[in-house]
Amino acid sequence: MTKVLLPLASQGYGSQQLVPAGHWVYDSLSALCLETKFLSIADNAPLSVKEIKFYLSCIDYDSLSYGGKVLYDKTLEYLNQHKFAINLKPVKIGLNLNLNPTVLARTNDNIEWSMATDYTGKENEYKDGYAVESSYTGNDFTNPLAVIPVTFDIDDKFIIETQFSLGPSQFGLLKDSYLNHNLRYDLSQYDFYTPKVANASFTHVFDSGWGFNLHVARSGLQIGNTSTGSIIYNSTFDTNVYFHTEIFSRQFKYEMNVIEVNHSDNEEKFMYLHSMEVIPWKWLKIGFLEGTLINGGFSLRYMNPLMILHSFGTWTELNTEWEEKVYGEAHTCAYMGLSLEILPCRNTRIYVLYSQDEIQPPNELTSDNGKSVPDGWGYQAGVEVKIPEEHGGWYAAGIEAIYTTPFLYIKQAKEWSLYSYRYNMQSNGDTPLCSWIGTPFGPDAIGFQAKFGYTMPKKWNAEADYLFVAHGTHSFGIFSQYADDGEGTYNSYYPAVKFRNGLYSAEDAEKEARDFRLTGTVQFTNQLAVKGSYSFNDHITAKAQLMYQFVFNNNNKSGNFQQGMEIALALNCSLF
């Protein structure tokens, strides 16, 4: 009889494991860099444990305050911590079980749940037949009821990870008007679109001070470190898969991302992104991103980082004769992002992000057709202060503002606009769950947030914040507007398309396209929130959030004022 040995090792899952966006480790690394008056190149996520350790090793430990040194040691200890694994040399198989029971309640069902809103209400003229994934994904109180993480770590050189989950869909979690929970008994309320976390990663760091990372994952990519979500590319963008290539050093980073946004029988949507960041001086960081979204099959040519400009003129290649007549250009969207970060003094950073998918320079505004094409761009700017204290935690305060034009992320038709959608396999199967590539506020918005908080890693944190969002009527529902010219059906919301097809005069098209004010009756949302968490030990953490909301012109209806409270409670329980 042959004996099968399964040696159990108290080993970590390995330095190759990816740390998801929003993890406290990124805040800790940022706080340490700010204290040493040297900006961090590690603002994008996810990063591997090995890459984060590399950035930690670049920090001048001796220049840190006592509190900074304690925080540094805590962060490094966390990254080196050991977890349960089955050791089958050279492979370690990590297993765990996480339970996340959650209860949600509100006092006014005329106000949308804060974790599933696009800030346009639910009954305006454009909003029909969709649900919002952008503000739902990644929220602390929308985690699945049960998650089983499984990792395969090959000799600490390569890792494969997946997280099988069981929990209600958005429709199941938020099915009741006032009181909800994720302990559902009806299987039709569960989300079978799982696993939502699945990846493989390989990182290598050279002794000369640079390294590279290759990883593939389903979603969760983030470009930019902001408070309310990156206007360029946010982790809430729900995609099928992306492939990431990265070269990094202390002061330089290049990334290429190839993303499959949607794939169905009648629609393929791929995005190709190239970005660079450089820190020429320790107080200044500059970033540039350019990309192309193609409503069509995969193409290698867009992976060349020095040939991305103007997308090879693809807008002239994929059109049919009818699409040329109706849309002018089709099946492609050029995308650009810029970022600037300044460290004016110790513990403080100022940041500005810019995203753009369309802009009409003066030479293109000389014709009626050029004047009818709306600009799509947005700005995001903020100031953040992080101060480590002697017990190994840090205080954080910040303000952030954002503006997006009415047509940012929106092109001539939904198939090549910068959003994704999927369908739930169970309940509400005909309602798409939608997410923007960038800020969860989407287009047609002005936002502002102020916050203050304290974090003691692995123990507790508390935060108070105020959020204001003014939002026009443009959101995902705009893609449901169609017209028929006798030859076919086409999206009819875009000013240039209306002009080309005789639905608008030149004057009306120009008026709508060149107007950068928020559209229609603007909804004004105000949220005052206090939230926090407390870890009883390494296995149990309690989280809570209390929010008061008051909304002017709720549902984009003039004079409709609503107010109410919302509370969320959750436990995060881990077996190992």
Give per-residue burial for 403-438: e unless 16+ CB within 10 Å, then b. Answer: bbbbbbbbbbbbbbbbbbbbebebbbeebbbbbbbb
Nearest to 136, CA basis, from 178, 104, 94, 91: 104
Parallel, antiparallel, or unpaired: how do β-strands 432-436 and 445-456 relate? unpaired
**First-last CA distance in the chain:** 32
- The answer to whether 32 touches 25, Cβ cutoff 8 Å, is no
Residue 2 is assigned to a structural domain of this protein:
no
Its pTM stands at 0.95
* Amino acid, single-letter form, for residue 171: F
The DSSP 8-state label assigned to residue 82 in this structure reads -
| CA gap 342, 282 in Å, rounded | 9
Residue 375 is assigned to a structural domain of this protein:
yes
Q: pLDDT truncated to tens, each residue of the chain (576 aa)?
A: 333 344 444 334 589 999 999 999 999 999 999 999 999 999 999 999 999 999 999 999 999 999 999 999 999 999 998 788 899 989 999 999 999 999 999 999 999 999 999 998 665 444 456 888 888 877 889 999 999 999 999 999 999 999 999 999 888 898 889 999 999 888 888 887 778 899 999 999 999 999 999 999 999 999 999 999 999 999 999 999 999 999 999 999 999 999 999 887 678 999 999 999 999 999 999 999 999 999 999 999 999 887 666 667 777 788 899 999 999 999 999 999 999 999 999 999 999 999 999 999 999 899 999 999 999 999 999 999 999 999 999 999 999 999 999 999 999 999 999 999 988 877 777 888 999 999 999 999 999 999 999 999 989 999 999 999 999 999 999 999 999 999 999 999 999 999 999 999 999 999 999 999 999 999 999 999 999 999 999 999 999 999 999 999 999 999 999 999 999 999 999 998
Nearest to 134, CA basis, from 206, 198, 219, 253: 219
Which CATH number goes with the domain that contains 282?
2.40.160.130
Residue 403 is assigned to a structural domain of this protein:
yes
- The answer to whether 385 touches 347, Cβ cutoff 8 Å, is yes
Residue 117 is assigned to a structural domain of this protein:
yes
The DSSP 8-state label assigned to residue 223 in this structure reads B
**How many domains, the chain?**
1
Q: What is the 3-state secondary structure (H, E, C) of 312-335?
A: HHHHHCCCCHHHHHHCCCCCEEEE
Which range of residues forms the domain containing residue 315? 8-574
Residue 547 is assigned to a structural domain of this protein:
yes
The backbone torsions φ and ψ at residue 514, rounded to the nearest 5 degrees and listed phi first, read -95, 5
Residue 1 is assigned to a structural domain of this protein:
no
Residue 3 is assigned to a structural domain of this protein:
no
Residue 259 is assigned to a structural domain of this protein:
yes
